[in-house]
Amino acid sequence: MSLIESALELEEIEINHYRSKTLWVPLGGRGVFGGQVVGQALMAAIKTTPKEFNIHSLHSYFILPGNNKMPILYEVERMRDGRSYCTRTVKAIQKGRCIFNLICSFAVAESSGLEHQDPMPECLGPDNFSSQEELMREFVKQEKVPRWYAKYLEKKLELENSPIEIRNTEILKKIWIKAKGKLSDEISLHKGAIAYASDFNLLYTAARPHGISPISKTRIGMMASLCHSIWFHDLNFRADEWLLYTMETPKAAYGRALASGRIYTQDGRLIASVSQEGVFRIDIDKKKSKL
């Protein structure tokens, strides 16, 4: 089983009821990684949907941080089963409280005769860039890096083994992503992997216009996802092959930031669009505590 399959794996405990098997909290995170919750909730919905239906859109809200010390229970409600479309809602529950809510729509594949897309932005291929793990190993060796931040990166490298490989490009709002390992041909798994990966780096895009970084004077006081949406445009792609994830942030105000992204195959096909709003607060005087 690949890392992403393990991260998305669910146990069926009753009709329409599923339970997580693994949960991951990023180092320094407030709760379970949001992309994993989105991905697991989507996989729960897929398990209740006929094979001829494919997920085309999902919309979700993060209500409370997830606790990785106990499983998450996913309750699926079959809202509608039509001939062309069907709809599911999913509640993620811990300690009797809903911590996350998802609504998603599935459709039978059809041809409309109409098709268009914005072209993929120009970008050097993934072979021209190092992975984030390689960059972190090089970064901790640099003398200009504050010791507290070097320790954080060392601990991150020691403890975390992400199921998604990420390669930053020269342009900070573009990254190459792919699931580690070889996945089966089941398209639902590849879409679940996209749901998982789509939460990486997206909201942090809002820090870029202000020159905020982990070692800048102005630091992020709080950053947390509030809602997350994905539109899947294609049935012919693989999450275990390189995909270009482009991100932008049209607005930040009133303690919130909006970010959007597009995901392309290497041959230029737009396969998914993503949008996310989150809490985004800065704390200029906050001092980093020891890890």
Query: Active-site positions?
Result: 199, 225, 276
* CB environment 9-19: b (16+ within 10 A), e (fewer): ebeeeeebebb
Q: In what order do the strands lie in the sheet with 53-62?
A: 10-14, 17-20, 73-81, 85-94, 97-108, 53-62, 220-232, 270-282, 256-265, 243-253, 174-179, 164-168
Contact 290, 147 (CB under 8 A): no
What 3-state class would DSSP assign to 65? Answer: coil
What 3-state class would DSSP assign to 255? Answer: coil
Q: 19: closest CA among 3, 1, 43, 2?
A: 43
